[in-house]
Structure 1
Amino acid sequence: MTCSATYTVTQADVDTGQIENTAVATGTPPGGATVDSNESTAVFTPRRTPAISLSKSASPSAVTADGQQVDYTFVVTNTGNVTLAQIGVEETAFTGSGADPQISCPEDALAPGRSMTCTASYTVTQADIDRGTVANTAAASGTPSGGGPAVTATASDTVTADQDPSVSLVKSAEPESVTAAGQVLTYAHVVTNTGNVTLTGVDVTETAFSGSGTDPEVSCPGTSLAPGQSMNCAATYTTTQTDINAGEIDNTATATGTPPTGPAVTATDDATVTADQDPSVSLVKTVVGDDGPFRSGEVLTYTFLVSNTGNVSLTGMELSDVAFSGSDPAPEGSCPDTALAPGDSMTCTATYTLTQADVDSGSVTNTARATGTPPAGPPVASQSSALFTPRVNPALALAKTGEPVVATAVGQLVTYTLLATNTGNVTLTDVDVAETAFSGSGARPQAVCPTGPLAPGASVACTATYVVSQADFNAGRVTNTAVATADPPTGPSVTTPPAGATVTMEQTPALTLAKSAEPEAVTAAGQQVDYTYVVTNTGNVTLTAVDVTETAFSGSGTVPEVSCPGTSLAPGQSMNCAATYTTTQADINAGAVTNGAAATGTPPAGPP
Structure 2
Amino acid sequence: MSTRSPSDRPGHGTSPGGRSLAARRRGAAVLLAAAACAGALGAGSPSAAAAAPPAPPAAPGPSISLTMSPLAVSFASAGIRVFFHYTITNTGGQTLTEVTVRNSVSSQGVNCVQRTLGPGQATDCFDAHTTTAADVAAGGVTNTATATGLPPTGTVVTSAPVSATVPARAAPALALIKNNYLVGTYEAGRAIPYLYGVENTGNVTLTGIAVHDPQPGLTGLRCQGTTVAPGELIPCFAAYTPTAADVAAGHITDTATASAVAPDTATITSNTATWTIYGPQPWLSITKTVSPATYTAGTRLRFTYTYANAGNTPLAKVTVTDTLPGLAPNDCPVLDIYISDSWTCSATYIATAADVRAGSITNSATVSGTTLTGPPTPVTAGPATATAFAGGSVTPPNQGRPIFLPLPYPFPLGR
TM-score interval, normalised by the smaller of the two chains: 0.3 to 0.5
Higher relative contact order (CA 8 A, sep 6+): 2
Q: Indicate the structure with greater strand content.
A: 1
TM-score with structure 2 length normalisation? 0.45
TM-score with structure 1 length normalisation? 0.32
Q: Indicate the structure with greater helix content.
A: 2
